[in-house]
């Protein structure tokens, strides 16, 4: 299982940060620390890194767009919000995430200048991350609940629905008034109050006055402990989209895993065709391969949950879209191969896949049966089967077949 390093940047001292190591479920693995970015320990740099930007640097809003194409959504968002924005949309970077099946989209926007500033800070400290989001996604969202985190310099807040903001906290800020502005009848109020605030006990008593359905919990010096628990499993918006998307040759990175994925499919396939193979050992090997692939893949996609189909994932990465035809054809050829073998009383001894060539060693009752297997494959699949060698073993024929994609 791959742990994650959460880094929380500071708007007042950008080169200064808090960090913590957590599990994929958000459970704390190490004690939180703080200091200059360049002091981030090497062991935490090797984890998948998720960076939290100050909430006041980015704005999160919600839209409903009757569009399914991700590319068209990206193009439409700036114009859908243009009238609500004070600045020029050309100076802003828009990121989004679909959150429901009813065309609702969570949008986070930030000034390109500010995002570039933080990216430069990370680069100067040699910190590489493929995920940067706003710290406001570190608060849980609960229906009919106003959730707030009050710190000395700011307040993070959401109403469980369409309000997700960060507000500068100063001595004149009336927190009770903020609550009353967004509170609806029946709302529960959950407040996390930082112990860094002077006289936090008095502030808690003041907030509670004339308020029903309210719970105030004190949080320790490092608020990142609370934020990190939620953000790793939240439906956050990654700011590194579009032109800011991390350029990783991910298809080539995972290319060796393509053969592992093929092997996973093959293990299940050969266990059906050849009953002599031990199912328990095959299952253990298959599970091990899937787990190893999953851990590697989560370095690139921190939100990935159920990674049960490595082959489809790799194929989508290679084409940046749907499963590639070549792999789809290979899988279908296995089905055809299975049918051809079962019709002619033949069994597989070994099967390998490399450089887009399938090599199979099979045992058949006689040469005629072997030739029928070859003809069945050639007639019913997009692969061309060729018999490379044959030999008489007792009363059977052992042979080696090569399958190539037609036209290759």
pLDDT, residue 122, reads 93
263 pLDDT band, cuts 50/70/90, is very low
Regarding pTM above 0.75, the answer is: no
Positive or negative, the Cα torsion across 291, 295, 298, 300? Answer: negative
Average pLDDT of the chain is 76
Does the pLDDT of residue 46 top 90, yes or no? no
Question: Measured between alpha carbons, how far is 161 from 145 in angstroms, rounded to an integer?
Answer: 9
Please report, for the chain, the start and end positions of each structural domain, with discontinuous segments joined by +. 250-405
What is the pLDDT, as a whole number, of residue 352? 66
- What's the CATH class of domain 250-405? alpha beta
119-153 pLDDT, tens digit each: 999 999 999 898 999 999 999 888 888 898 988 88
**129 or 207: which leads in pLDDT:** 129
Phi, psi of 2, rounded to the nearest 5 degrees: -95, 125
Per-residue pLDDT, averaged over 255-270, amounts to 48
pLDDT of the residue at 376: 79
- Mean pLDDT is highest, among 89-93, 242-246, 327-331, for 89-93
Q: Pick the residue with more confidence: 5 or 304?
A: 5
Structure tokens at 335: 């089905």
Question: Within a 10 A sphere around the Cβ of 154, how many other Cβ atoms?
Answer: 22
- Banded pLDDT at 79 (limits 50, 70, 90): confident
In the predicted model, is pLDDT for residue 289 greater than 70?
A: no
Tell me: the pLDDT tens digits for 321-369? 433 344 444 445 555 566 676 677 777 777 665 666 777 788 888 888 8
Residue 297 CB partners (closer than 8 Å, separation 6+): 254, 304, 307, 310, 313
The residue-averaged pLDDT of 141-168 equals: 86
Reported as a pLDDT band with limits 50, 70 and 90, residue 49 is very high
């Amino acid at each position: 299982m791959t742990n994650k390093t959460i880094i929380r940047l500071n708007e007042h001292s950008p080169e200064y940060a808090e960090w913590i190591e957590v599990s994929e479920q958000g459970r704390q693995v190490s004690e939180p620390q703080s200091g200059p970015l360049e002091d981030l320990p090497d062991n935490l740099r090797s984890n998948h890194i998720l960076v939290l930007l100050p909430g006041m640097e980015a704005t999160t809003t919600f839209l409903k767009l009757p569009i399914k194409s991700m590319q068209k959504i990206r193009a439409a968002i700036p114009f859908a919000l243009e009238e609500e924005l004070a600045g020029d949309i050309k100076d802003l970077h828009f990121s989004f995430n679909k959150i429901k099946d009813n065309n609702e989209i969570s949008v986070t926007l930030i000034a390109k200048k500010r995002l570039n500033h933080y990216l430069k800070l990370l680069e100067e400290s040699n910190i590489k991350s493929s995920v940067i989001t706003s710290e406001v996604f570190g608060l849980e969202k609960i229906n009919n609940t106003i959730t707030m985190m009050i710190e000395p310099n700011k307040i993070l807040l959401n109403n469980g629905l369409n309000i997700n903001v960060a507000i500068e906290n100063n001595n004149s800020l009336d927190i009770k008034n903020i609550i009353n502005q967004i509170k609806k009848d029946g709302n529960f109020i959950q407040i996390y109050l930082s112990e860094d605030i002077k006289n936090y006990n008095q502030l808690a008593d003041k907030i509670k006055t004339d308020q029903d359905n309210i719970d105030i919990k004190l949080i320790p010096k490092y608020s990142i402990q609370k934020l990190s628990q939620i953000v790793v499993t939240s439906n956050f918006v990654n700011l590194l989209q579009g032109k800011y998307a991390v350029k990783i040759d991910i298809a080539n990175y995972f290319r060796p895993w393509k053969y592992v994925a093929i092997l996973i499919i093959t293990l299940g396939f050969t266990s059906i065709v050849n009953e002599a193979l031990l199912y328990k050992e095959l299952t253990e090997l298959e599970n091990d391969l899937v787990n190893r692939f999953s851990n590697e893949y989560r370095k690139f996609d921190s939100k990935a949950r159920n990674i049960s189909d490595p082959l489809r994932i790799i194929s989508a990465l290679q084409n940046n879209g749907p499963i590639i035809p070549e792999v789809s054809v290979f899988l279908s050829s296995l089905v055809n191969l299975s049918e051809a073998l079962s019709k002619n009383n033949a069994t597989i001894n070994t099967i390998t896949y490399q450089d887009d060539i399938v090599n199979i060693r099979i045992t058949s009752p006689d040469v005629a049966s072997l030739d029928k297997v070859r003809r069945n494959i050639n007639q019913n699949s997009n692969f061309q089967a060729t018999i490379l060698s044959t030999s008489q073993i007792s009363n059977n024929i052992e042979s080696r077949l090569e399958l190539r994609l037609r036209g290759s």
